[in-house]
Amino acid sequence: MHIPDGYLSPLTCVVTYAAALPLWVIAFRKLKEQLDETTLPLIASLSALSFIIMMFNIPIPGGTSGHAVGAGLIAILFGPWVASLCISLVLFVQALVFADGGVTTFGANALLMAFASSFVTYYIFIGLKNKALAPYISGWAGTVASSVVLSIFLGIQPLIATLDGQPLYFPFDFSLTFPAVVGSHALFFGVVEGIFTGIAYAYIIKNKIFTRASL
């Protein structure tokens, strides 16, 4: 799901960075409010856990692969803003140190993998109240939401940036991108994210590692 450099037009890169910037400022403030002696080690651990689970590439039919993200778990424990900042940090490290996801596309990647999934998971989890399946369903939905945003960012490229009929950046439009990206995430990677979120959440609650204050 990490968009590489060169896949998005400069305009898309600028707009996505501009949209992400104020969100990062708010998210940083929210993180500041939440960080104390008890939460800091756990938030740091869950961010590191997100980095690790993104390394588990899972092959699927059709010759591609993908992975869970771990945004939803942080979102239901610490809220969507904190989760968005944590995942943005993970994406930043991946882009700079491992060239996984571009530097020019970091804003876009943060919007889709950090913000979209964290907020969708959080509000669906809240909507489902304390139902046992809430973390599973909301985790799945967050990943599917990310994939929808990804297919929009990629799918608009051939519409907004072509020269002499040749796409300059990502060349495939919605009709190809949407089913490939959203389909694979709804059927496979979202399910993995949902299972991860559900099991990890149950483990954290059962072992009283952290209790959500607001539930």
In the complex, the residues that contact another protein under the rule CB under 8 A are 1-7, 9, 31-33, 35-37, 40-49, 51-53, 55-60, 63-67, 89-90, 93-94, 96-100, 102-104, 150, 154, 161, 163, 166-171, 177, 180-181, 184, 200, 203-204, 207, 209
Cβ proximity to another protein: between 124 and 161 the closer is 161
Task: State the Cα–Cα distance between residues 89 and 86, nearest whole angstrom.
Answer: 5
- Find the shortest distance in angstroms from Cβ 150 to another protein: 8
Q: Tell me the C-alpha distance between 136 and 85, whole Å.
A: 22
CB of 71 to another protein, least distance (A): 14
Structure tokens at 45: 């651990």
Instruction: Calculate the alpha carbon distances from 151 to 38, 76, 82, 99, 122 in Å.
Output: 38, 25, 25, 21, 22
Q: Give the H or E element holding residue 176.
A: helix 174-184
Chain centre to alpha carbon of residue 111: 8
- The residue among 124 and 184 lying less far from another protein, judged by its C-beta, is 184
Q: From the CB of 45, what's the least distance to another protein, in Å? A: 5
Could you tell me how many residues make up the chain? 215
Q: In the complex with another protein, which residue's Cβ is closer, 124 or 193?
A: 193
CB of 188 to another protein, least distance (A): 11
Other beta carbons within 10 angstroms of residue 200's beta carbon come to 21
Name the E strands within the chain. Answer: 58-60, 64-66, 162-163, 166-167
Among residues 18 and 38, whose Cβ is nearest to another protein? 38
Q: How far is the CB of 163 from another protein (least distance, A)?
A: 7
Q: Which is nearer to another protein, 114 or 124 (CB)?
A: 114
